[in-house]
Structure 1
């Protein structure tokens, strides 16, 4: 799982999770507050691919609009934001 200075790793290796800690992994995209699949995977102590599999297999349970894929502009903006916050290095790729 994620380690180091990655915000979700720091937040969710605690026994109690405080709302104030969540602000570092919640982003506003398309005027919605969202979490990345990789952050959810850390929350639930699983792999990102398993989160995505469950959403795909259980779309009826999650409802329309529960998840969406970033377009290329949104992806680049988020990537630059994370770089500026030193969450990712220039050699690391968001996938």
Structure 2
């Protein structure tokens, strides 16, 4: 079984090079370019505004921050319980 994406999906052999060129022209990695293309296709023409995009980015930052704070809280609780029993 071939591991070449072009032959695996019966695509032209220059498919990888095509993706590389498109990704480079859009200042993205090949993976990010493909993700964006699939997302755009899946949205069926529904576009988001710049404001919505900024809100999504802010939510992603907030989510990461909350995850970090939750981990710190878990660590503190563990230390408190450990000190009570130790």
Normalising TM by the smaller chain, what interval? under 0.3
- Higher Cα Rg: structure 1 or 2? 2
- Structure with the bigger RCO (C-alpha within 8 Å, sep 6+) is 1
TM-score, length-scaled by structure 1: 0.24
Higher strand share: 1
Higher helix share: 2
